[in-house]
Amino acid sequence: MTNFLKKAFQDMKESAQAQHEVDKANFAAAKAESKAQWEEAKAMRRPETRKAMMQAERDKQMEQAHQRKDAAQARIDAAKGK
């Protein structure tokens, strides 16, 4: 019976230590994400940075639109038997 209790308490201790490590990692990740959001918001106050970020987003959207258009055209050609 004592070995069972020793194993049970040892397992609980190891589990608690592992969970503590997970909690520390999650806290560090949340802290880094918060800092990244703050730095991005701070950068958006500068007009040149805001313009560059907005242009990058527009370029990304244009590329996605072109890909969707090309995929649709391929489907049209396949449906027509070309």
Q: Is 43 a member of any domain? A: yes
Q: Is 26 a member of any domain? A: yes
Give the integer Cα–Cα distance in Å for 31 and 38. 11
Residue 30 has pLDDT above 90, yes or no: yes
Q: Is 24 a member of any domain? A: yes
Using one digit for the tens of pLDDT, what is the confidence trace for 36-57?
Answer: 999 988 888 888 888 988 999 9
Q: For position 64, what pLDDT does the model report? A: 97
- pLDDT, greater one: 60 or 4: 60
Q: For position 69, what pLDDT does the model report? A: 96
Q: Is 31 a member of any domain? A: yes
Give the integer Cα–Cα distance in Å for 1 and 9. 12
Q: Is 14 a member of any domain? A: no
* Domain tally, the chain: 1
Q: Is 11 a member of any domain? A: no
The whole-model pTM stands at: 0.55
Domain extent at residue 41: 20-80
Q: Is 53 a member of any domain? A: yes
Give 1's pLDDT tier (boundaries 50, 70, 90): confident
